[in-house]
Amino acid sequence: MSASRPSTPPTGWIKQVVMHIKRLINGELTHLLTVNRSRRPWHMPIIAAIAISFPVFVGAYFGDLPSGIKASLGAMVILNLPFTGSLPHRLVTVMSWGFAMSLCFALGLIAQQIPIVRLPVFTLIAFGIVVFGRHYRQPPPAGLFIMMASAIALFIPLPLTQILPATGLVMLGSGFALVMGLLYSLFLLITRETVPAPIYTYEPDTISESIIVAGFVSLALLIAVMLEMSNPYWAAVSCFIIIQGIHLRTMWIKQLHRLLGTLIGVVLAGWMLSWGLPIWGVAVAILAMMLCIESLVDRHYGMAVIFITPLTLFIAEYGSGLPLSTHVYQEVMRARLLDTALGCMVGLSGGVVMHSTNLRVPLRRIEKWLLTRFS
């Protein structure tokens, strides 16, 4: 009796699976490495970098770098300047974001005095920022720096008597950004054809998605506080960088952009902090990082996040007024790596939840009830 020949596994479907995996990997790598053409005027990054870094240079000149950085927080509303519509439309947009920046920063400072209300106040602030940014279709970084300002205000050591002066500095920076926005808008309206402003209408899932984003950003902050991390706001900032813009129409590759960019940015920030820059060097570094961010943000968001991360670290650490020696910055970077890892994990979890139909159904019911009740 002859021995039966061993059966050979079919190779056709294996080749198909391998080819499918290769096409998937190539497609994802293409999306990851593609650098898009900028749709903004080439001089916008220069204007934004000047508007945001000028208060820092003023603070360096007077030997008060923390005050200059607080004012630069307010000046960041120049990033929300629209390129469409009439002059009043553009200025009102910047003024609205400037008011939101000052209000959120002040609320954060006030809530700092009563620790039990920190989380509820931050959750309301995050929800308002996300709804506001999504309704007016703000491109990245949208409300990132406003949310960051409120989160920092919750934890920076500031006595009650200094709340008004600190808020005034932020408002002063917003006013300077408004003046820069006026001059730049006049230049654009004179040299370019005016494009009508979009008609803002309510998009479905705006409220439900904003609830998810605000909930997970607040969760990241809560976990960081419970773990007694040194500066828990950085976990919330990292989570917001990861989760902002996630919705059913967004490809997962953008989340990989944010995750890799954030982690690489932390390493870059550690290297830059090790330089031990003087106050003028800090001002120049903020100017250079703003130029890089605004030049890259609509070309490749992941590369822009690489510089957003050290920028936010510079603002948070140098804005606190505490000296950064060699051993101090090493401790800061270790803490930031943990905060960033925590924020990234919570942010990615939020992305998974955002794609969950089981959660969206009850949230859509709440959204429908709210729109029906208050329309």
Q: Which amino acid is at 120?
A: P
pLDDT, residue 251, reads: 44
What is the spatial distance between Cα 228 and Cα 220, in angstroms, rounded to a whole number? 12
Measure Cα distances from 144 to 68, 237, 240 in Å: 19, 8, 7
pLDDT, residue 331, reads: 73
Q: Could you tell me what percent of the chain has a pLDDT over 90?
A: 35
Q: Are 32 and 253 in contact (CB under 8 A)?
A: yes
User: Which of 112, 113, 132 minimizes the C-alpha distance to 122?
Assistant: 112
- Give the highest mean pLDDT range of 8-22, 24-38, 157-171: 157-171
Q: How far apart are the first and last CA of the chain?
A: 85
3 state DSSP class of 292? helix
Q: Which amino acid is at 141?
A: P
- pLDDT tops 90 at residue 57: yes
Average pLDDT for the chain? 82
- Give the highest mean pLDDT range of 70-74, 197-201, 320-324: 70-74
Q: Are 255 and 354 in contact (CB under 8 A)?
A: no
DSSP state of 83: S
Measure Cα distances from 361 to 130, 214, 245 in Å: 20, 18, 20
Q: Which amino acid is at 28?
A: E
Residue 204 is encoded by which pair of tokens? 């479905």
Residue 369 is encoded by which pair of tokens? 């009830």
pLDDT category of residue 27 using cuts at 50, 70 and 90: low
Using only C-alpha atoms, the chain has a radius of gyration, in whole angstroms, of: 23
Q: Which amino acid is at 205?
A: D
Interacting residues of 139 by C-beta distance below 8 A, sequence separation 6+: 297, 298
User: Which of 284, 280, 270 minimizes the C-alpha distance to 317?
Assistant: 270
Helix count and strand count (H, E) for the chain: 14, 0
pLDDT category of residue 109 using cuts at 50, 70 and 90: very high
Segment 194-201 shows an average pLDDT of 80
pLDDT category of residue 185 using cuts at 50, 70 and 90: very high
Domain ranges, residue 238: 41-374
Interhelix angle 118-135/87-112, nearest 10 degrees: 170
Q: Are 290 and 26 in contact (CB under 8 A)?
A: no
What is the spatial distance between Cα 238 and Cα 265, in angstroms, rounded to a whole number? 11
Residue 297 is encoded by which pair of tokens? 């943000």
Continuous H helices in 113-201: 118-135, 144-153, 163-191
Interacting residues of 158 by C-beta distance below 8 A, sequence separation 6+: 109, 112, 166
pLDDT category of residue 5 using cuts at 50, 70 and 90: low
**Residue 11 forms part of a structural domain:** no
Interacting residues of 270 by C-beta distance below 8 A, sequence separation 6+: 329, 330, 333, 336
**Residue 46 forms part of a structural domain:** yes
Encode pLDDT of 305-323 as tens digits. Answer: 888 888 888 887 787 665 5
pLDDT category of residue 196 using cuts at 50, 70 and 90: confident
pLDDT, residue 1, reads: 46
**Residue 324 forms part of a structural domain:** yes
- pLDDT tops 90 at residue 263: no
- pLDDT tops 70 at residue 296: yes
What is the tally of structural domains in the chain?
A: 1
**Residue 2 forms part of a structural domain:** no
**Residue 365 forms part of a structural domain:** yes
**Residue 107 forms part of a structural domain:** yes
